[in-house]
Amino acid sequence: MIKILKYSFSDLMRSKWSYIYLAFYLILGFVLLFLNNDISKAIITLMNLIVVLTPLIGTIFGIMYFYNSREFTELLLAQPVSRSKIFFGQYLGIALSLSLSLVIGLGVPFLVYGLFQSAEIFNFIMLLVSGAFLTFIFVALSVLIGLYNSNKIKGFGYAILMWLFLAVIYDGALLIAMVMFRDYPLDNLALAASFFNPIDLSRIMILLKLDISALLGYTGALFQQFFGTGTGVVVSMIILLLWVIFPLVMMLQKSKSKDF
């Protein structure tokens, strides 16, 4: 599995798209800090991009790598190596390379602008952790979709639809429901609903760490009461970890019965 991980990791790191992804965050970080010269404002701006862009990139890279490496995967399956090790190694290679590009791309400009001397260092770390979690989650979900769909066009379409649902449609449907039933106490429902969407969960965690919970509307006080505590942060991290584990387990189970 380690050899497969190293190959997948090095294969992606040799890809020009990995360097374009790294360069995008690198340039974005320097531009934001140059224009604002305020680390806190830069983190807020990056939060809005990362919670949407990172899942999209993870989805596209995951599904494309799965289909493009299909012949190599079939070759590995002919070897005396378990399927779970093959797919787990490839998954880690994709997720780690994308996460590394994110961390380096954003870390370098913030370090240059004195992150260690700023009070926002823990907020920045939370931003990177959330971005890494979203990368691991959506790479696992996209590979799982690829395993269930042999047709490349259908698999790619389902993967994009999955990202679109969690990034846009889910919030819209929840907002409509809250408007329609505004006469009822929906605070607890809104809190529970955030657990079923890793993008929303990551966004709320970052917003509350930046102490701008007023942007969350009338449910901000409840979110602040839960997510603003140490217990709330730990529970949120555990839920994000479960979002990584569940699709990964399903992916490994499906790989054992997949007919190549």
Residue holding tokens 């040799």? 14
CA angle 136, 137, 140 (to 5 degrees): 85
Q: What is the residue-level pLDDT of the chain in tens, covering all 260 positions? A: 677 777 676 766 667 777 888 899 999 888 888 887 778 788 888 888 888 899 999 999 999 988 988 888 888 878 877 888 888 888 888 898 899 999 999 988 888 887 777 777 888 888 899 999 999 999 999 999 999 988 899 999 999 999 999 988 988 888 788 778 777 776 677 777 888 889 988 887 777 766 555 455 445 555 666 666 667 778 888 999 999 999 999 998 888 877 76
Which tokens belong to 133?
A: 């979690």
Contact between residue 212 and residue 204 where contact means Cβ atoms under 8 Å apart? no
Domain that holds residue 120: 2-257
Q: Considering its fold, how many domains does the chain have in total?
A: 1
Model confidence, pTM = 0.88
Handedness of CA 112, 113, 117, 120 (dihedral sign): negative
* Alpha-carbon span 163 to 134, nearest angstrom: 11
- Kindly give, in sequence order, each residue whose CB lies less than 8 Å from that of residue 33, ignoring residues fewer than 6 positions away: 39, 42, 109, 110, 112, 113
* Alpha-carbon span 143 to 145, nearest angstrom: 5
